[in-house]
A and B are shown apart, each in its own frame.
Chain A
């Protein structure tokens, strides 16, 4: 392991992988990325783990490096007092290019710039990745933000030997009596130092959150502008479409268009019936008349028809607002071009009290001679 090459006695530095006691029960390590040149005494750390999923704010350590496979989660970084690194245990070293890449992502995010590829966006939307964030990364960051640093030690075995325990207690009492005053003074200083550090971290966190809020507002404003622009484009497209439809309506209102319109009358689908009924729609017919006879006598205020390709199941036409005639039939005129040659399954739904119920099922084979 590379980390063994360096002395473990020196304090962790940027580029090191470390464990903090506060997050020792989570499957993560922390990567030390940098010191803050503007605010001495602060270092940036980000969680790192071996889950292969990498989202937009993540940097995968280069394959082949000693620490790989490892992913640096730059969206969950935190500035901490450098003194807290003394409580951490250093484990390994990252390659400089990976540290640089992680810094770049962190800084880009700080500036509110988009990061990550479209492929990484797919991971962001992955529920398994979202679980990882919720279960591991969010708690890890929270634990490091609030908890005081306690040095990691290997789990000592207590109460193994009663004589050793008694000797230890005696020694502790003696040391406590002789060194108590000195210890108290030192402890007070430590507390004051820790308090100052914590206040500084809280101030930085407040600044960071305020920055994030400003960025979120800016993103929201941009999204609003883009949405308005898209809405305007959609309105323009609608206007053009309406104009085109009106032109088409004007053309189709000529009397000859409605002459010789093909008539398609369908009875309820009979599962025992053999070959489908074929309807030929000639090229000169822009429209055809469809009449559906129902055997279901339940009265429905209105009906909705859905036509799907039998082959692919894809719905090619759907429309509502149909009314049954006194002969328990519904009728409508459909555009020929919407139905390429093939077999179709038609479902007629009765609508009542906001619920749909199947009122009829029909089949037809369309041919374009």
Chain B
């Protein structure tokens, strides 16, 4: 049995227990400057390792919600860089929100180094899901498709982690040499996305199974591209890039067309999901509202086609909120992107707005969702 999260201590590591010592020092009062500096360095290092592990080090920091930096390597004269900004939020996630939890564990365990590393992984994962929802969803679908194919012996694990990550080498024949050739898969995945979108990014939960099954059915086409053996990263990277490009193109080509509220004057309303990096309370409230709208759409007395349109538009809203893009798309663009008849988009959004208002009222609390009048561009 794999135990990825077993927490162990060795005497050699005892001197490096920076996180444990920091939490202990908090018990005694204000930690000294040396402990704080040690923690800052250790957090930076742990985050750097985690970003490398997830293949995020070469991606823009905006994928984790750190904006204004072209790369993680950029270090201005002032000294503070993107990693410092991420570290500030990570500190809050681990040593403020979870401090009681760490203390409880420290009462019965010799150290909490593993717990802190685990919390940092969860922090980065949560940030990635929130700020790069497209990439995260594509990864989830492809990983599930690959795992299903492995189980059905349509694919074989040749090298790397069984969890399926960037370093995993896969092949169509057991025992093949784990030496993937350099193959350009961009045109192939573009064709796949033509078949799989928009469901690839909007189908979640029970609906996700269908798109996972379809993607799994396309995987054997890699053989005709000369990819009998391939690195998971060589497939996931162009797949994500193509989805992001389609998404970006839809927005960039906008211009000269009316937005959703075309012809609706001041009566048109649009609900805007505000999703900054939230505290526990706001996050729980936002999740309740999102869940409530999903349930409401599932229960609405409409035919399945209409329910599908509403579902896709709602998932679009969530994705758009996550990616931080506040621009409104025209009904034509949205219709093309989500496979929804353009003439129905305004009416469908009005329906969704009504549901959001009801859900917000039903889960009354601190506002994380706000509606506003007529803002369409």
Q: State whether the Cβ of A184 lies closer than 8 Å to any Cβ in chain B.
A: no
Contact with A along B273-314 (1 / 0, CB 8 A): 000000111011001001110110010000000000000000
Q: State whether the Cβ of B110 lies closer than 8 Å to any Cβ in chain A.
A: yes
Q: Give, as a whole number of angstroms, the nearest-CB distance from B7 to chain A.
A: 5
Q: Give, as a whole number of angstroms, the nearest-CB distance from A223 to chain B.
A: 12
Q: Give, as a whole number of angstroms, the nearest-CB distance from A146 to chain B.
A: 13
Contact B205 A122 (CB under 8 A): yes
- A230 and B114 CA atoms in complex are apart in Å by 49
Assuming the contacts A29-B104, A67-B100, A131-B163, asked whether A118 and B295 have C-beta atoms less than 8 A apart, the reply is yes
Contact B190 A125 (CB under 8 A): no
- A91 and B5 CA atoms in complex are apart in Å by 21
CB within 8 A of A121: which of B206, B281, B339? B206
Residue numbers in A under 8 Å from B339 (CB-CB): 314
Contact A69 B98 (CB under 8 A): yes
Contact A155 B194 (CB under 8 A): no
CB within 8 A of B3: which of A3, A29, A135, A308? A135
Q: State whether the Cβ of A126 lies closer than 8 Å to any Cβ in chain B.
A: yes
Stretch of A20-28, A214-222, A274-282, A283-291 on the interface side: A20-28
Using CB atoms, name the residue of chain B closest to A117: B291
Contact B8 A25 (CB under 8 A): yes
CB within 8 A of B2: which of A70, A135, A152, A309? A135
CB within 8 A of A92: which of B104, B110, B143? B104
Contact with A along B175-216 (1 / 0, CB 8 A): 000000000000000110111010000001110110000000
Using CB atoms, name the residue of chain A closest to B245: A313
Q: State whether the Cβ of B109 lies closer than 8 Å to any Cβ in chain A.
A: yes
Residue numbers in B under 8 Å from A62 (CB-CB): 284
Q: Give, as a whole number of angstroms, the nearest-CB distance from B32 to chain A.
A: 24
Assuming the contacts A89-B107, A118-B295, A127-B144, asked whether A52 and B122 have C-beta atoms less than 8 A apart, the reply is yes
Using CB atoms, name the residue of chain B closest to A154: B108
Assuming the contacts A51-B122, A118-B298, A119-B287, asked whether A135 and B5 have C-beta atoms less than 8 A apart, the reply is yes
- A355 and B224 CA atoms in complex are apart in Å by 8
Contact A25 B7 (CB under 8 A): yes
Q: Give, as a whole number of angstroms, the nearest-CB distance from A134 to chain B.
A: 8
Residue numbers in B under 8 Å from A68 (CB-CB): 280
Q: Give, as a whole number of angstroms, the nearest-CB distance from A154 to chain B.
A: 8
Using CB atoms, name the residue of chain A closest to B336: A312
Assuming the contacts A118-B298, A125-B206, A155-B110, asked whether A69 and B104 have C-beta atoms less than 8 A apart, the reply is no
Assuming the contacts A1-B104, A70-B101, asked whether A119 and B194 have C-beta atoms less than 8 A apart, the reply is no
- A135 and B7 CA atoms in complex are apart in Å by 12
Contact A60 B5 (CB under 8 A): no
- A69 and B102 CA atoms in complex are apart in Å by 11
Contact B294 A117 (CB under 8 A): yes
Using CB atoms, name the residue of chain A closest to B333: A312
- A308 and B195 CA atoms in complex are apart in Å by 9
CB within 8 A of B194: which of A124, A125, A131, A313? A313
Q: State whether the Cβ of A86 lies closer than 8 Å to any Cβ in chain B.
A: no
Number of interface residues of B (CB under 8 A): 61
CB within 8 A of A357: which of B5, B119, B224? B224
CB within 8 A of B1: which of A1, A25, A139, A152? A139
Q: Give, as a whole number of angstroms, the nearest-CB distance from B340 to chain A.
A: 12
Q: Give, as a whole number of angstroms, the nearest-CB distance from B36 to chain A.
A: 23
Q: State whether the Cβ of B246 lies closer than 8 Å to any Cβ in chain A.
A: yes
Residue numbers in A under 8 Å from B1 (CB-CB): 139
Q: State whether the Cβ of A344 lies closer than 8 Å to any Cβ in chain B.
A: no
Q: State whether the Cβ of B352 lies closer than 8 Å to any Cβ in chain A.
A: no
Contact B294 A64 (CB under 8 A): no
Q: Give, as a whole number of angstroms, the nearest-CB distance from B120 to chain A.
A: 12
- A66 and B126 CA atoms in complex are apart in Å by 22
Residue numbers in A under 8 Å from B209 (CB-CB): 125
Residue numbers in B under 8 Å from A121 (CB-CB): 204-206
Contact with B along A268-311 (1 / 0, CB 8 A): 00000000000000000000000000000000000000001101
Residue numbers in A under 8 Å from B5 (CB-CB): 26-27, 135-136
Q: Give, as a whole number of angstroms, the nearest-CB distance from B315 to chain A.
A: 10
Contact B194 A27 (CB under 8 A): no
Q: State whether the Cβ of A207 lies closer than 8 Å to any Cβ in chain B.
A: no
Using CB atoms, name the residue of chain A closest to B224: A355
Using CB atoms, name the residue of chain B closest to A92: B104
Q: State whether the Cβ of A17 lies closer than 8 Å to any Cβ in chain B.
A: yes
Using CB atoms, name the residue of chain A closest to B253: A311
Q: Give, as a whole number of angstroms, the nearest-CB distance from B289 to chain A.
A: 10
Residue numbers in A under 8 Å from B122 (CB-CB): 50-52
Residue numbers in A under 8 Å from B3 (CB-CB): 135, 139
Among all A-B residue pairs, the 3 with the closest Cβ atoms: A119-B291, A117-B291, A121-B205
Given A19-B108, A69-B101; 5 other pairs, CB 8 A cutoff: A68-B280, A122-B204, A313-B190, A355-B224, A356-B224
**Chain A residues near B (Cβ < 8 Å):** 1, 3, 17, 19, 24-27, 29, 50-52, 60, 62-64, 66-70, 89, 91-92, 117-122, 124-128, 131, 134-136, 139, 152, 154-155, 308-309, 311-315, 347, 355-357
Show 14 A/B contacts (Cβ-Cβ < 8 Å), sorted by A.
A19-B108, A63-B280, A64-B281, A66-B100, A70-B101, A91-B108, A117-B294, A122-B205, A125-B209, A131-B4, A139-B3, A311-B336, A312-B246, A315-B195
